Structure 1
Amino acid sequence: MAEVTRLPGRSTDSWDWQLDGACRRVSPETFFHPEGERGSRRRTRDETAKAICEVCPVLDRCRAHALAVREPYGVWGGLSEDERERMYAANPPMTPGIAV
């Protein structure tokens, strides 16, 4: 589940970038895998989604959003959920007052 406490407030300025996303012209199924999808089908779907992201005018903003809220599902900002999970594991969030 996404960390809703990390989501920006209700200001439309925080969300308007989504209106310019290249993904808005494509079926959501391109970016979010069905239950149990594995192997070459999943890789092909992810590659298709990432190709759309590559030409998206809000790629950086989308990626930053997905990483900031730890978006758990789908391709966001050109990163699959597995790629984001690896990034989270490599860079765990810092908790104030706790030494790691």
Structure 2
Amino acid sequence: MSVRRWFEDELRLPGVEADLWRWQDGAACSGMAMELFYGYLREPVQEREQREAVVKELCRSCPVVEQCRTWAEQTPSEWGIWGGTTDAERAATRQERRAVEQEAGVGDAAGRVAHGPLVSVAGSERRLRAAALEGWGVEEIAEVLGLSSSTLASVRSGRRRYIVVDTAEQITQILPVLLEMTPAAARAQQVAQAARKSGWHPLEAWGADIDDPDAEPWCFDGAA
């Protein structure tokens, strides 16, 4: 939602330089009642859920929804709906971000933590699983990339929702190289068999949608 009207109440927000607020000029919610975004004390659950559904639908068509969501996640604004997210959803995102940043494996093998923007883990998870089908285990990939194998294992397992952008880009760049090589690990066959048993999909099953968290794999029987 547009926050300019709320500045006096939100004293903890960043500075008020014009550039910080410029993205709000095109907000779809500009001029709308604040109660729609904040609700009220002891609001019944059903009423709150209905109100949130209405606001989220509005946010989906807003041209600045990404800027709004990013702003809310990076500031201590704890209440209201911003960028199509509720306060509870943002709290969960912050908690996961802290967990990702605090886990040494997000950084390199020496344990240095990598900070930076997060993206959906979907593409990285699918690429690591595709590599497993070719016999590449997370230990071998971690050694090549200089990352922690525990991090790559958690990404491949589906236990995460987000990953640091730099790490995701490293996985994306190394995968085509790996698929042109034969894994030297003695347990490559075991890794590939486990991947097939788990029902993981090769790259061809995802195509250009591999980074889309909502994408479904194409039917793939080993032929193009």
Question: Shared fold (TM-score greater than 0.5)?
Answer: yes
2:75 is the alignment partner of 1:72: no
Tell me the residue number matched to 1:10.
16
| CA displacement 1:5-28 (0-9 Å, x = unmatched) | x62x33211111112111114211
Give per-residue Cα distances to partners, 1:60-81, cap 9 Å, x unaligned.
1000100000320100000011
| Structure 2 unaligned regions, length at least 5 | 1-9, 103-224
Contact map agreement 1:59 1:77 (CA 8 A) in 2: yes
The higher radius of gyration belongs to 2
Q: CA separation of 1:33/1:17 partners in 2, compared to 1, >3 Å: closer, same or farther?
A: same
Give the distance between the partners of 2:87 and 2:11, measured in 1 at CA: 14
Q: What's 1:90 paired with?
A: 96
8 Å Cα contact 1:3-1:69 kept in structure 2:
no
Of 23, 26, 37, 1:20 maps to 26
More RCO (CA 8 Å, sep 6+): 1
Q: Aligned residue for 2:54?
A: 48
Post-superposition offset of 1:3: 8.3
Give the structure-1-normalised TM-score.
Answer: 0.80
Once the two structures are superposed, residues 70-96 of structure 1 have per-residue CA deviations (whole angstroms, 9 ceiling, x without a partner) of 32010000001111111112222868x
Give, in whole Å, the separation in 2 of the partners of 1:24 and 1:69. 20
Please give the alpha-carbon distance, in whole angstroms, between the structure 2 residues aligned to 1:3 and 1:72.
Answer: 12
Alpha-carbon separation, structure 1, partners of 2:36 and 2:79: 12
How far 1:59 sits from its partner (Å)?
0.4
Aligned residues between the structures: 94
Q: CA deviation at 1:33?
A: 1.2
| 1:58 lines up with 2:48 in the alignment | no
C-alpha change, 1:3 and 1:68, in structure 2 (3 Å) is farther
Stretches of structure 1 lacking an aligned partner (at least 5 in a row): 96-100
Whole-Å Cα distance in 1 between the matches of residues 87 and 16 of structure 2?
A: 25
Distance in 2 between the 1:68 and 1:81 partners?
Answer: 13
Percent of aligned positions that are identical:
28
* Alpha-carbon offset, residue 30 of structure 1: 1.1
Residue in structure 2 matched with residue 98 of structure 1 by the alignment: none
Q: Check 1:39–1:66 CA distance in 2 against 1; reply closer, same or farther (3 A cut).
A: same
The one-letter amino acid paired with 1:13 is D
Q: Secondary structure at the match of 1:34?
A: coil
- Give the superposition deviation at 1:40: 0.8
